[in-house]
A and B are shown apart, each in its own frame.
Chain A
Amino acid sequence: MDLTSGSSKVEYIDISHRKMWLGGRGFNSELLYREVGPFVDPLGPENRLIFGVGPLTGTFAPASSRTTITAKSPLGTPEGFGDSNMGGHFGPEMKFAGYDQIVIQGRSEKPVYLSVLDDLVEIRDASHLWGRRISETDAMVKEDLSDQEVHVAAIGPAGENLVRYGCIINDVSRAAARSGMGAVMGSKNLKAVAVRGTGAVEIESPQEFFEICAETRGRLKRDAVAQLLHDQGSLLLTMPANYEHGWFCWRNFQRGNHPQAHLLSGERHRDHFLAHREGCFACPISCGRFSRIKEGRYAGETTGGPEYETLAALGPRVGHLDMNRVIANGKLVNELGMDSCSCGGAIAWAMECWEKGLIGEEDTGGLAVEWGDGDLIESLIRMIAARQGFGDLLAEGSFRAARILGRGEEYSISVKGHDMSQDDPRGLGFAFGIGFATGRRGGDHLQALPCLELTGSFYPGLVEKILGTSAAEERLSIVKKPEMERYQEDLKAVGDSLTQCAFTHTWSFAVQLEDMVRLLKSATGVDYTPEELLKVGGRIVHLERAYWNRVLVGKNEDKNPRRFTEEPMPDGPNQGVVFPERELIPRYYQVRGWEEKTGFPLPKVLDEYGLAGVAEELKPYRKRYLEMISKDHGPSKSKADAEVG
Chain B
Amino acid sequence: MACSLGHDGKCSPALSRIRVIRFDSEGRNVPTVCAQCTRPECLSACTEGAIRRDVATGAVLIDEDLCNGCRACISACSHSQIGFHPEKGLAFKCDLCGGDPLCARFCPTGALTFVYLDQHLMARRRALLRAPGEAV
Contact = CB atoms under 8 A, between A and B. Distances in A.
A100 to B, nearest CB: 15
A199 B12 contact: yes
Interface in B3-26: 4-6, 8-15, 22, 24-26
B10 A198 contact: no
A38 interface: no
Contacts of A197: 14
The residue in B4, B13, B24, B86 that gathers the most chain A C-beta atoms within 10 A of its C-beta is B24
Interface stretch (A280-288, A477-485, A503-511): A280-288
Interface residues of A, number: 40
A454 interface: no
Contact of B25 (A58, A60, A139): A139
Nearest to A220: B108
Nearest to A200: B12
Contacts of A276: 27
B109 A60 contact: no
Contact of A286 (B1, B6, B26, B108): B108
Contacts of B6: 210
A201 B14 contact: no
A302 B11 contact: no
Nearest to B108: A284
Contacts of A304: 24, 27
B114 interface: no
A221 B11 CA distance: 21
A203 interface: yes
Contact of A203 (B10, B13, B27): B10
Interface string A41-83: 0000000000000000011100000000000000000000000
Interface in A130-173: 135, 138-139, 171-173
B9 A283 contact: no
A275 interface: yes
A198 B25 contact: no
Q: Is the interface of A mostly helix, strand, loop or mixed?
A: mixed
B27 A278 contact: yes
Given A200-B10, A203-B9, A302 B26 contact: yes
Contact of B5 (A60, A277, A286): A60
B74 interface: no
B99 to A, nearest CB: 18
A206 interface: yes
Given A210-B6, A284-B108, A285-B108, A200 B1 contact: no
A202 interface: yes
Contact of A200 (B11, B27, B108): B11
A633 B108 CA distance: 55
Contact of A60 (B1, B14, B22, B27): B1
A276 B111 CA distance: 12
Nearest to B10: A200
Interface in A423-466: none
A214 B10 CA distance: 15
Interface in A85-132: 89, 92, 96
Nearest to B3: A60
A201 B15 CA distance: 11
A283 B108 contact: yes
Contacts of B22: 89, 171
B1 A282 contact: yes
Nearest to A60: B1
Nearest to A63: B108
Contacts of A92: 13
B1 A59 contact: yes
Given A60-B11, A209-B5, A279 B109 contact: yes
Contacts of B5: 59-60, 203, 206, 209-210, 213
Interface residues of B, number: 22
A144 B4 CA distance: 30
A191 interface: no
A290 interface: yes
A217 interface: yes
A58 B15 CA distance: 13
A568 B15 CA distance: 58
Contacts of A96: 12-14
A154 B28 CA distance: 20
A250 to B, nearest CB: 31
A171 B24 contact: yes
B14 A302 contact: no
Contacts of A278: 27
A290 B12 contact: no
A81 B108 CA distance: 37
A173 B23 CA distance: 12
B11 to A, nearest CB: 4
B27 A58 contact: no
Nearest to B107: A284
A59 B11 contact: yes
Interface string B47-64: 000000000000000000
Contact of B11 (A139, A203, A217): A203
A199 B85 CA distance: 11
Nearest to A289: B27
B97 to A, nearest CB: 12
Contacts of B108: 217, 221, 279, 283-286
A221 B106 CA distance: 10
B67 to A, nearest CB: 20
A210 B25 CA distance: 32
Contacts of A200: 4, 8, 10-12, 14-15
Contacts of B43: none
Nearest to A170: B24
B2 interface: yes
Nearest to B19: A149
A285 B86 CA distance: 32
The residue in A135, A172, A275, A302 that gathers the most chain B C-beta atoms within 10 A of its C-beta is A172
A171 B20 CA distance: 14
18 contacts: A60-B106, A92-B13, A135-B24, A138-B24, A138-B25, A200-B8, A200-B10, A201-B10, A202-B10, A203-B5, A203-B10, A203-B11, A206-B9, A277-B109, A279-B108, A284-B108, A286-B108, A304-B27
Nearest 4 A-B pairs (CB), nearest first?
A200-B12, A206-B9, A284-B108, A290-B27
Given A200-B4, A302-B27, 11 more contacts: A60-B11, A60-B106, A92-B13, A172-B25, A198-B12, A200-B14, A200-B15, A207-B9, A209-B5, A213-B2, A286-B108
